[in-house]
Amino acid sequence: MTQPTERVFSGIQPTGDIHIGNYLGAIKKWVEISERYDSIFCIVDDHAITVDYNPAKLPRMVFEAALTGMACGLDPQKCTLFVQSHVPEHVELTWLFNTVTPLGSLFRMTQFKEKSRNALYKAIAKKEGEAQSSALYQIKSLGDATVKQLTALQPDLTALEPEGQPDEALIARINDGLGGLMQKLQVGLGVSEASAALFDYPVLQAADILLYKATLVPVGEDQEQHLELCREVAERFNRKFGDVFPQVHRIPGEAPRILGLDGKQKMSKSLDNHIGVLDEPKVIQKKLASAFTDPQRIRRSDPGRPEICNIFSLHRYFTTEGKREELEQGCRAGTIGCFDCKKELAGNIITAFEPIRNRADTFRQNPQLVIDALEAGRARSSEIASQTIGEVHQLLGLGRRALGQMQK
Ligand code: AQP
């Protein structure tokens, strides 16, 4: 490792199979960057429990995420790899950061809106018969109540005279009314099913990064908004308590955003729309066979539009330029069908991930290699984390040392 000047931090959630979006958007860059910088990578299990999950399965998922990362090329000799919940300072710093994080900034986070919307839909879809109707009825009445609330607020808004004396009771009523409405309008109904932890997710993410005073964060494009919040938290903290935390910068991965096989949402572990980096060849072929392509192309002879086809866009990462040109021309002319295009892609993905699958098999036969790497990673991260928390406690007047130094 060359002498590091800046530190890198990034994480991945143990929420399912690590897929080609995670690999091309983040992990491939992690492997490359750990050759040049002091790099810390984390399996973020505290993040994973912000949505519905199975506690009995979580340890296995944490292990699988670490194993997959190592199979992808994360070398414990060149980087620090550990599990978030093994270093409790992440949660502690989150709480402290909560005190400088404006609620308004959190309400703007699109990932919260998306995930709470998904949670709402999942919760409704899981119910059956009367229970489902009652859930839908609840949504309807919540919507109706919101509209009524809006109407009821009108007289108070009319009564408010910007030039006159502030009326405490009137302002309190407007505040309560607008607060409730804005929450519904900004976040949507999904908020009723989402956890407070999901809402606070970006603050935990800021704590993850800043605990190690990392400046470089290799993550996918989807995380840019969370990094903006991280910068805001660092700035607000520094302004209030002292210059402790650096500014962070995103390092883009090879692919900004890989779309799922449904062609609609981003590829995600928790949505059934991904190809796992450890998927067996047969599984890859099967998943691609039913993947979404250009909807206007019904017969093989129909001229295709590669520019709007998600399968064609994936070729960019797995297929040589010459072959891509051939596929593009054939697709436009209607001489190459989606079946052939998918078959080529499946073959190339299978070949690209073969060494990763083989390394994963080796780690599976020697699981202690993974456990030992995580333990070494925990020891190193804990050391840095406790130093940062000590510094923060001192500034905030918290902890035993601060009490020992209290002013008379
Ligand atoms: N589709 C994607 N394209 C490019 N990059 C992606 N990343 C995730 N999906 C894509 C990047 O992978 C890293 C790890 O992601 P994460 O596990 O922290 O959370 P996520 O972004 O929520 O990933 P998933 O797969 O969508 O997980 P679930 O389903 O649990 O929410 C991040 O750097 C992310 O940018």
pLDDT digits (tens, 9 = 90+) for 271-286: 889 999 999 999 999 9
**How much is the mean pLDDT over the chain?**
91
CATH architecture of 281-364: Orthogonal Bundle (1.10)
Catalytic residue among 28, 29, 115, 184: 115
End-to-end CA distance of the chain: 49
To the query of whether residue 269 is one of the catalytic residues in this protein, the response is yes
Write out the two tokens for 287. 């998943």
Looking up tokens 């190592």 gives: 70
- What is the secondary structure of 12-65 as a DSSP string? E--SS--BHHHIIIIIHHHHHHTTTSEEEEEE-HHHHTTSS--TTTHHHHHHHH
Q: How far apart are CA 19 and CA 28, in angstroms?
A: 12
- Residue 3's pLDDT is 45
C-alpha 21 – ligand 1 centre gap (Å): 7
Q: Which atom of ligand 1 is nearest to the CA of 255?
A: 4
- pLDDT 10s digits, 312-352: 999 999 999 999 999 999 999 999 999 999 999 999 999 99
Q: How far apart are CA 93 and CA 23, in angstroms?
A: 28
**72 within ligand 1 shell (Cβ under 6 A):** no
- Residue 183's pLDDT is 64
- Residue 139's pLDDT is 79
Catalytic residue among 213, 269, 287, 342: 269
- pLDDT 10s digits, 50-109: 988 999 999 999 999 999 999 999 999 999 999 999 999 999 999 999 999 999 899 889
Q: How far apart are CA 212 and CA 76, in angstroms?
A: 17
- Residue 187's pLDDT is 47
Q: Which atom of ligand 1 is nearest to the CA of 270?
A: 29
- Residue 195's pLDDT is 83
Task: Name the closest-CA residue to atom 10, ligand 1.
Answer: 21
- pLDDT 10s digits, 130-175: 988 888 887 788 788 788 888 888 999 999 988 888 899 999 989 8
**27 within ligand 1 shell (Cβ under 6 A):** no
In DSSP terms, which residues pair with 83 in a beta bridge? Answer: 43
Task: Name the closest-CA residue to atom 35, ligand 1.
Answer: 220
Radius of gyration of the chain (CA): 25
Q: Which CATH class is domain 7-104+197-258+367-404?
A: alpha beta
Q: How far apart are CA 153 and CA 146, in angstroms?
A: 11
- Residue 224's pLDDT is 94
C-alpha 15 – ligand 1 centre gap (Å): 10
Q: Where are the domains of the chain?
A: 7-104+197-258+367-404, 122-194, 281-364
Length of the chain: 408
Q: Stretch 274-302: mean pLDDT, rounded? A: 91
